[in-house]
Amino acid sequence: MNKFDRVISTLILLQTKKILKASNISERFGISLRTVYRDISTLKNAGIPIIGDPGIGYSIMDGYRLPPIMFNEGEALALLTAEKFIGKITDKATQAAYSEAMTKIKAILRSTDKQSLAVLEDSISFSNYTLWENKSYLQDLFKSIASKIILRIDYQKADGSTSNRLIESIGCYHQYNNWYLVAYCQKRKAYRTFKMNRILNLQVLDQHFENEHISLQNYIDQQTQAWREQQEFQTVEVAFNRSLLQHAESRKYYFGFLEQIEEEDVVRMKFLNSSMGIMARWLLQFGNQATVLAPAELQSKIKQIATELYEHYQ
């Protein structure tokens, strides 16, 4: 990126945050802190009202805004792709809000870019995603996180029973085609993860919380680490015939893939997995085109499941 583009990008970045540290700018553009200070000086000399110091951070004086920035074709296409994706994984309220935003963005595009978007509008699809149950909770959840508002929810647990909770939202994440809410539960006095399609009712209260909570990423990292410590991982080695190799490769990362060794007639793969039952059920689909080399426990598990299937259909 040349200096002019970098300086303009820095100015746009400054408008997205209340305070922006020099280290953040350095990391974003892959430049030294000295270069950051020179770029900030260039903006100040151009009359941009930037306030702050190198050790504290920078911000633009309240009230100053750049005129609307034109999107280039690549940026516009990225936004169109995001619109298609959002239409599959969010609720109707969020889809409508994003669609309105895209309408405003399309209005300021050049005619050539509008034509490109029109061509691609019906040519991008995320058909492999199952539509998320459209409960209009996401917008309320996002607002509660941003404004630290307490929520009251009626939640259905895995056993079918329901409970009423007062929660302080921390963040949301999407995984395995489901949305999850991480929040501090005032009833349990602990952090909890709530599956959103089990929230039967949600009410935004006229109350704010002042507690400073753990960040969403730190919570996810802690939960992942705790889960790993509870697992007993084993090294699994399987030889796949080349005729079905593409099918094995398409799913291998779901099962803890470690390495792949090419041989004349087969490809040996190594995995690190804690559930021999899950591995066995995956490998059964390959029949005699996949051979478990280790461990013996996995070989026994496959034999057990195959015997049960045989007896089931007798």
Q: Could you read off the pLDDT of 235-288 as tens digits, one per residue?
A: 999 999 998 889 999 899 999 999 999 998 899 999 999 999 999 999 999 999
> Which residues, other chains included, contact 5 with Cβ-Cβ below 8 Å and sequence gap of 6+?
none
Residue 135 confidence (pLDDT): 59
Q: Which residue has the tokens 């169109």?
A: 80
Given this model, what pLDDT does residue 128 score?
Answer: 58
36, exposed or middle or buried, with CB in 10 Å at 0-12, 13-18, 19+?
buried
Whose CA is closest to 140, among 151, 131, 130, 132?
151
In the chain, what percentage of residues exceed pLDDT 70? 93
pLDDT at 70: 65
Q: 293 is written with which tokens?
A: 């080399």
Residue 194, helix vs strand vs coil: strand
**Which carries the bigger pLDDT value, residue 40 or residue 87?**
40
What is the average pLDDT across 202-218? 93
What does the pLDDT average to over 129-139? 63
Looking at per-residue pLDDT, the higher value among 259 and 16 belongs to 259
Containing 178, the helix (H) or strand (E) segment is strand 178-185
For residue 153, pLDDT over 90 is answered with yes
Query: Alpha-carbon distance 305 to 275, whole Å?
Result: 14
- 133 pLDDT band, cuts 50/70/90, is low
Give 260-267 contacts, CB < 8 A, sequence gap 24+: 263/239, 265/241, 266/239, 266/240, 266/241, 266/242, 266/291, 267/239, 267/240, 267/242
The answer to whether residue 297 scores a pLDDT higher than 90 is yes
pLDDT of residue 132: 54
- Inter-residue contact 94 to 139 (CB < 8 Å): yes
